[in-house]
Structure 1
């Protein structure tokens, strides 16, 4: 893939975390309050079932458990932990903790994909975390232990999901929309018993609730995860992980534009630092000897 194609693919893939950056606004303004399991299930399952019906193809063999694992990591567990942390952690603490996700991907890519840990990526990780701190923190805020654990767990789920999606790819002859449908369905189904037993059905749905759920299902799930998985296929895992840092930037801008929140000079500096981290994260690795380039492929074939 040429450099220009890489830039285009990265820009398109970055639309997914940009859409996810609207999740907090949608959850607080449009969805029933304090129902993270309902929000996560509705975000994943309806769209997944529609894609399954359109694709008319189910996983075969090893892909039953692989699709289930990816669905839980990329969608089910990740989104639930994200919603849970957002409800329990004030002042953007969840976003700060989640910004550790690229660092986790750097480590996992070295362990599972044979990628080298580069000083450039370490610098980009530090810049990304520092930029998020400038962007979302508002002085001293109390920390909720369960919220912190949920945010760390969400970052780990996303990191492992990105890495395993890159390692396993998708089965031959299966379209990307169908592959996305497998994961959305698996991620939604695993949450249904928890949702029904712990939260139950809401007493009523307002027009705003319906609009919020429609946004989560279409833009927040089907379209965004389609371009996200497309990006994972075409870009290095580490490069994709840094694109996720765009989510808190969009969340902050929406708070300023829609809710009338303030936007300070430090926050603008934070956005610039995050953008620099994302750009650094897209830098391709230096050319390696042929024997080195073959090693990850040999590892994947061995699995």
Structure 2
């Protein structure tokens, strides 16, 4: 398979976690009516780990963990840090706004990849990053006041954690000999353990079990926490970190659309301009350079 064909295949696979995660912002917001943020995070990832372990056994993969020190760092950042912070942010923050702030992740990926991977961004990456940053400014409309500074800081902190986990995963894949399924399973196991401990040591309201809560757990454990993270790791292994990071900006764009339809969070004219700019940034970063004749 040629490099260009593999790249196109990886970009198509990237669409699946983007769709799953964009709708999941609605699910994560609505589920807070029945359960606290840390309890939900712990339950979804604990079940998600069991799903991934079962998948490893079905595929006959070894349950031997990748290098444990790196797995712990990735799990604490990408699973525990990201999920705990963004779920907490959703308690008071709107779903669409929280998704956008969490997806400042690509802005953190660029300097982290430069620092940890010596993956220096080219002019096209810097230009697309600038266009995307301008788009986020229009979406957030800081001239009107952000409001909810606490939830905004939590969401941005979650984006930073995810960026660190993405870059560390890329560095581990570059060493070779590690499958996406193995890394996804083990880093999620570490993150799930941290989230369970967090839930045990915080005093949240009692869980109200309902069909909606069970459905949200199933969606999150199987799709959002299991399948989507597996596909994400597979894509991170095959595409440059900068491309993956910027492509993921499609999630908050779709999240805004879902929040408009499902929660009545209608975008303002400025937000529409921002969405168009972010879409343009995605197109720029994914344009294939013309081959030299």
Q: What is the TM-score when the length of structure 2 is the normalising length?
A: 0.84
Matched, 1:168 2:172: yes
Q: 1:199/1:251 Cα in 2 relative to 1: closer, same or farther (>3 Å)?
A: farther
Check whether the contact 2:29–2:91 (CA below 8 A) recurs between aligned residues.
no
1:267 Cα offset (Å)? 3.7
1:70 Cα offset (Å)? 1.2
Query: What is the aligned partner in structure 1 of residue 138 from structure 2?
Result: 134
Query: What is the aligned partner in structure 2 of residue 5 from structure 1?
Result: 6
Matched, 1:232 2:228: no
State which drifts further: 143-152 or 106-115: 143-152
Matched, 1:64 2:64: no
Query: What is the aligned partner in structure 1 of residue 251 from structure 2?
Result: 247
Q: 1:149/1:139 Cα in 2 relative to 1: closer, same or farther (>3 Å)?
A: closer
C-alpha separation in 2, matches of 1:171 and 1:114:
14
Query: What is the aligned partner in structure 1 of residue 43 from structure 2?
Result: 42
Structure 1: gaps spanning 5 or more residues: 288-303
1:29 Cα offset (Å)? 2.3
Check whether the contact 1:165–1:232 (CA below 8 A) recurs between aligned residues.
yes
State which drifts further: 94-103 or 14-23: 94-103
Superposed CA deviations along residues 192-227 of structure 1, whole A, max 9, x for unmatched, are 111122145734301111111111111111111011
Q: Please give the secondary structure, in 2, of the residue aligned with 1:87.
A: coil
Check whether the contact 1:17–1:246 (CA below 8 A) recurs between aligned residues.
yes
Q: Please give the secondary structure, in 2, of the residue aligned with 1:205.
A: coil
C-alpha separation in 2, matches of 1:240 and 1:104:
12
Q: 1:147/1:204 Cα in 2 relative to 1: closer, same or farther (>3 Å)?
A: closer
Aligned residues: 286
Query: What is the aligned partner in structure 2 of residue 74 from structure 1?
Result: 78
Q: 1:102/1:284 Cα in 2 relative to 1: closer, same or farther (>3 Å)?
A: farther
Q: Residue 183 of structure 1: which of 155, 180, 187 is its match?
A: 187
Q: Residue 102 of structure 1: which of 99, 102, 106 is its match?
A: 106
C-alpha separation in 1, matches of 2:273 and 2:287:
22
C-alpha separation in 2, matches of 1:8 and 1:204:
42
Q: What is the TM-score when the length of structure 1 is the normalising length?
A: 0.82
State which drifts further: 89-98 or 15-24: 89-98
C-alpha separation in 2, matches of 1:172 and 1:142:
43
Superposed CA deviations along residues 228-275 of structure 1, whole A, max 9, x for unmatched, are 001000000010001221121111111233334435554443332212
Check whether the contact 2:36–2:205 (CA below 8 A) recurs between aligned residues.
no
1:170 Cα offset (Å)? 7.8
State which drifts further: 273-282 or 104-113: 273-282
Query: What is the aligned partner in structure 2 of residue 51 from structure 1?
Result: 52
Q: 1:12/1:89 Cα in 2 relative to 1: closer, same or farther (>3 Å)?
A: same
1:50 Cα offset (Å)? 2.9
Q: 1:142/1:246 Cα in 2 relative to 1: closer, same or farther (>3 Å)?
A: closer
State which drifts further: 21-30 or 222-231: 21-30
C-alpha separation in 2, matches of 1:262 and 1:103:
25
Query: What is the aligned partner in structure 1 of residue 225 from structure 2?
Result: 221
